[in-house]
């Protein structure tokens, strides 16, 4: 957009545009710009959109959506995997604001992110771009990023809507998922991000949902998104996700990206002319485009320079906050972390010199700066740091010796040092947009090296670089201390170094479960599907919901992370007000830093519905907060739970229902470490299901209105026989002539049962 443009007069412009011009506004000019219109007195500027999500990828020259071409230098913030582990909405809002400032400096109207897809399976190649396996954590953190970016007048694009939980076959596969799982898990993450952040745009996904492409899905894009959730922004396609442009615009997809050289525009105009598409549908989409142009115009005219140093510092702070200390076992009575400044440290692993800090694909940022862990650690310790690469990675320098010599040199370096800090991780090619992983193990060459190092020096710290979970169980006996650094962005190595040295106290918590082995994961046999279909057979039991329900011990549970200080949680209490859909609860707790270092604690609130009329998870995260406390400091926190914290998606009535009965509210520091549990009683909603002649005798027997008529008919039946009768549809039972209930009687009874519904 050129500077000093006036806002578009939407009504006048819409009246003046030809049908062809309107259609042209609904698709891209190229990879990143929308089409302008400029003639006589009609002027609609184009808008520039860029990836996202953890940094700006503005391609000034040739564009592509695969992350191949170059882009302007921008701060590469930690990837969503690392940001998710911060559990820190305030921090993510600051990161979002920084992303917004960089976008507007480069004239970008919309930053394509954040991603709110649930990490359904650790094999998903793009998990590094997603925040969590839990919808409340994912939704709240996505909302924070959105609020931050949009506070700068730059739009966001919450993506990829919806059920895009794998990369294999992503452009074609149909996610076969029941509505309850969609609503409670997959859509819930987006719904919460929308409620808390109100993104100006949403990007639909490539895949189909139960047989219909997301881009053509009227139920998804209009009924759920707009009618039920009340969202009124613009829907943009994922790049190339539209198969039928007319079906897409009718479903509620406003903007197709990138452009198709006029083909889609012609399809839209032809459909309006032949009467198969109502012009008002096109007008609505055009209005949304014009509205977005106006909304983002002031920001794109504000080219305030970016403070790259300040953004790098923020990236470092965010990276440190996302590091999860998994293990810090004593060796000879002393914990290895934080590192002691007087030690001789052997830094081992090519990743220490050649950092892995972001994933592959459309999110790849050209960083303003990049610091290695070797550099950061050497800067911290004078002269006591030695380095051995130990193994090669594709991005690293050409090795001057053989792999086996690299191995031997690293083992020798570890032997000679007080402590070995070993940087392990996934090769870059293992994690990318566009394909999934088949294993969640680290490469054998790295594990062999680790075992050999541990054999000569048991004082081993492992620092991990990976965007999606890797197993640790097979090797953690060789690593008394483990820090999970994820893909931490351009300052990731410095953030990690801050944790290793103790300049920062670890406060990251797992936003996803680390399984013992791949065979334990919820979608093990249903990922990535085949022949164009993937079945979400685990239903709502995703992530920790699965491990808890199946009683499968994970290596490290959801919400887990150690610290260098200690906290106590006391005086917890829960107050409930209201009933049914108006139920609200407040959770109070006092948190005290009882250790000797400043640090942060994440308080997690889980809810379990004990008396539900259907199967519900043992624990579901419903609220969390992160508090920063000086040594000895205490604070009291209050967390609000609204009715959705208790509700389930009722498959028979197709809406959220708060069931009556007892609920357990657990306050904890991980999904498994619970500080206190409170049981509360909630007055649920009265759900009357419509009765039909296929309602069973059991259902009629328990019905609040007609149950009294049925019970006498079945009096005296043997319990085993009654159990069988209970399952017989009432029309079948009436037909048997076993009682006085006949077809006429049943019809009247049904009418009475349904009165007032």
Point out the residues that are catalytic: 238
Distances 388 to 259, 340, 347, 352 between C-alpha atoms, Å: 49, 20, 7, 9
Q: Are 154 and 296 in contact (CB under 8 A)?
A: yes
Q: Is 504 in the site for ligand BGC (CB under 6 A)?
A: no
Q: Is 239 in the site for ligand BGC (CB under 6 A)?
A: yes
Q: Is 33 in the site for ligand BGC (CB under 6 A)?
A: no
Q: Which residue among 112, 143, 365, 393 contacts ligand BGC (CB under 6 A)?
A: 112
- Where are the alpha helices (H) located in 394-456, listed in sequence order? 403-416, 444-456
Q: Which residue among 65, 120, 316, 644 contacts ligand BGC (CB under 6 A)?
A: 65
Residue 351 is encoded by which pair of tokens? 């990743």
- Considering the complex, what minimum distance in angstroms separates the CB of residue 159 from ligand BGC? 5
Q: Are 393 and 427 in contact (CB under 8 A)?
A: yes
- Considering the complex, what minimum distance in angstroms separates the CB of residue 394 from ligand BGC? 22
The burial class, CB within 10 Å (0-12 / 13-18 / 19+), for 342 is: exposed
Q: Is 238 in the site for ligand BGC (CB under 6 A)?
A: yes
Q: Which residue among 17, 25, 47, 51 contacts ligand BGC (CB under 6 A)?
A: 51
User: In degrees, to the nearest 5, what angle opens at C-alpha 407 toward C-alphas 402 and 409?
Assistant: 95
Residue (200 or 391) nearer to ligand BGC, CB = 200
Residue (52 or 488) nearer to ligand BGC, CB = 52
- Considering the complex, what minimum distance in angstroms separates the CB of residue 257 from ligand BGC? 7
Q: Is 58 in the site for ligand BGC (CB under 6 A)?
A: no
Residue 671 is encoded by which pair of tokens? 């999904």
Q: Is 527 in the site for ligand BGC (CB under 6 A)?
A: no
Distance CA 257, CA 91 (A): 31
> How many CB atoms are closer than 10 A to CB 316?
26
* Residue nearest ligand BGC, CB atom distance: 65
Distance CA 540, CA 371 (A): 41
User: In degrees, to the nearest 5, what angle opens at C-alpha 292 toward C-alphas 101 and 129?
Assistant: 55
- Each residue 329-368 as x (binds ligand BGC by CB under 6 A) or -, in order, gives ---------------------------------x------
Distance CA 736, CA 728 (A): 11
In the sheet that 533-535 helps form, which strands lie side by side, from edge to edge? Answer: 212-213, 208-209, 174-176, 533-535
Q: Is 235 in the site for ligand BGC (CB under 6 A)?
A: no
Residue (58 or 545) nearer to ligand BGC, CB = 58
Residue (54 or 509) nearer to ligand BGC, CB = 54
Q: Which residue among 159, 208, 327, 509 contacts ligand BGC (CB under 6 A)?
A: 159
Residue (201 or 730) nearer to ligand BGC, CB = 201
Residue 265 is encoded by which pair of tokens? 């525009």
Q: Is 103 in the site for ligand BGC (CB under 6 A)?
A: no
Residue (31 or 656) nearer to ligand BGC, CB = 31
Residue (88 or 238) nearer to ligand BGC, CB = 238
Q: Is 431 in the site for ligand BGC (CB under 6 A)?
A: no
- Considering the complex, what minimum distance in angstroms separates the CB of residue 60 from ligand BGC? 15
- Considering the complex, what minimum distance in angstroms separates the CB of residue 172 from ligand BGC? 14
Q: Are 93 and 147 in contact (CB under 8 A)?
A: yes
> Alpha carbon 203 to chain centroid distance?
14
Q: What does the H/E/C string look like for 73-99?
A: EECCCCCHHHHHCCCCHHHHHHHHHHH
- Interface positions with ligand BGC (CB under 6 A): 51-52, 65, 112, 159-160, 238-239, 362
């Amino acid at each position: 957009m050129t500077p000093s443009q006036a806002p578009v007069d939407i009504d006048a412009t819409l009246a003046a545009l030809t049908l062809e011009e309107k259609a042209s506004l609904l698709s891209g000019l190229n990879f990143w710009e929308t089409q302008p219109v400029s003639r006589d007195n009609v002027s609609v500027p184009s808008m520039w959109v860029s990836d996202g999500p953890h940094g700006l990828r503005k391609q000034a020259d040739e564009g592509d959506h695969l992350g191949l071409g170059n882009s302007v230098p921008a701060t590469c913030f930690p990837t969503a995997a690392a940001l998710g582990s911060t559990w820190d909405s305030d921090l993510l809002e600051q990161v979002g604001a920084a992303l917004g400032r960089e976008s507007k400096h480069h004239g970008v109207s919309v930053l394509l992110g954040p991603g709110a897809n649930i990490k359904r399976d650790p094999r998903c190649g793009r998990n590094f771009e997603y925040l969590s396996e839990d919808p409340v954590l994912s939704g709240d953190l996505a909302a924070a990023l959105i609020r931050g970016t949009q506070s700068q007048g730059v739009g966001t694009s919450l993506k990829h809507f919806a059920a895009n939980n794998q990369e294999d076959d992503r452009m074609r596969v149909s996610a076969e998922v029941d509505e309850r799982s969609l609503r409670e898990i997959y859509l819930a993450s987006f719904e919460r991000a929308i409620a808390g952040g109100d993104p100006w745009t949403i990007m639909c996904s490539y895949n189909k949902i139960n047989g219909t492409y997301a881009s053509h899905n009227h139920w998804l894009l209009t009924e759920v998104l707009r009618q039920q959730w009340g969202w009124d922004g613009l829907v943009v396609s994922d790049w190339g996700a539209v198969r039928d442009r007319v079906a897409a615009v009718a479903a509620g997809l406003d903007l197709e990206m990138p452009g198709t050289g006029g083909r889609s525009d012609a399809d839209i105009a032809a459909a309006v002319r032949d009467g198969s598409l109502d012009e008002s549908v096109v007008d609505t989409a055009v209005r949304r485009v014009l509205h977005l142009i106006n909304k983002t115009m002031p920001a794109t005219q504000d080219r305030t320079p970016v403070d790259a140093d300040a953004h790098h510092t923020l990236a470092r702070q965010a990276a440190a906050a996302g590091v999860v200390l998994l293990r810090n076992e004593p060796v000879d009575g002393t914990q290895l972390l934080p590192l002691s400044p007087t030690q001789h440290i052997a830094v081992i692993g090519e990743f220490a010199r050649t950092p892995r800090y972001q994933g592959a694909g459309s999110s790849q940022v050209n960083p303003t700066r990049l610091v290695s862990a070797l550099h950061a650690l050497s800067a911290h310790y004078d002269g006591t740091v030695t380095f051995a690469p130990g193994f090669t990675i594709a991005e690293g320098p050409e090795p001057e010796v053989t792999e086996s010599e690299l191995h031997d040199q690293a083992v020798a370096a570890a032997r000679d040092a007080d402590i070995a800090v070993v940087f392990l991780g996934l090769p870059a090619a293992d994690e990318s947009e566009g394909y999934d992983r088949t294993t969640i193990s680290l490469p054998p060459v790295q594990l062999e090296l680790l075992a050999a190092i541990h054999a000569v020096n048991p004082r081993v710290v492992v620092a991990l670089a990976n965007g999606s979970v890797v197993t640790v169980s097979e090797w953690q006996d060789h690593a008394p201390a483990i820090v999970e650094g994820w893909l931490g962005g351009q300052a990731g190595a410095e953030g990690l170094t801050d944790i290793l040295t103790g300049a920062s106290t670890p406060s990251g918590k797992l936003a996803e479960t680390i399984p013992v082995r791949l065979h334990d994961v919820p979608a093990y046999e249903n990922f990535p599907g085949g022949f164009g279909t993937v079945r979400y057979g685990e239903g709502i039991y995703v992530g920790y919901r699965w491990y808890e329900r199946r009683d499968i011990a994970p290596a490290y549970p959801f919400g887990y992370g150690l610290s260098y200080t200690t906290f106590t949680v006391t005086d917890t209490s829960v107050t409930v007000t209201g009933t049914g859909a108006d139920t609200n609860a407040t959770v109070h707790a006092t948190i005290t830093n009882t250790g000797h270092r400043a640090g942060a604690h994440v308080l997690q609130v889980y809810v379990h519905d004990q008396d539900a009329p259907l199967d519900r998870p043992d624990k579901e995260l419903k609220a969390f907060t992160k508090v920063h406390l000086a040594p000895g400091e205490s604070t009291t926190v209050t967390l609000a739970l609204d009715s959705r914290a208790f509700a389930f998606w009722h498959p028979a009535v197709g809406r959220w229902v708060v069931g009556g009965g007892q609920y357990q509210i657990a306050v904890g520091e991980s999904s498994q470490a619970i500080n206190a549990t409170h049981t509360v009683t909630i007055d649920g909603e009265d759900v009357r299901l419509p009765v039909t002649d296929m309602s069973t005798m059991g259902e009629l027997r328990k019905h609040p209105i007609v149950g009294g008529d049925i019970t006498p008919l079945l009096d005296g039946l043997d319990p085993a026989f009654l159990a069988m009768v209970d399952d017989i549809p009432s029309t079948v039972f009436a037909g048997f002539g076993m009682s006085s209930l006949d077809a006429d009687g049943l019809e009247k009874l049904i009418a009475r049962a349904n009165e007032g519904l």
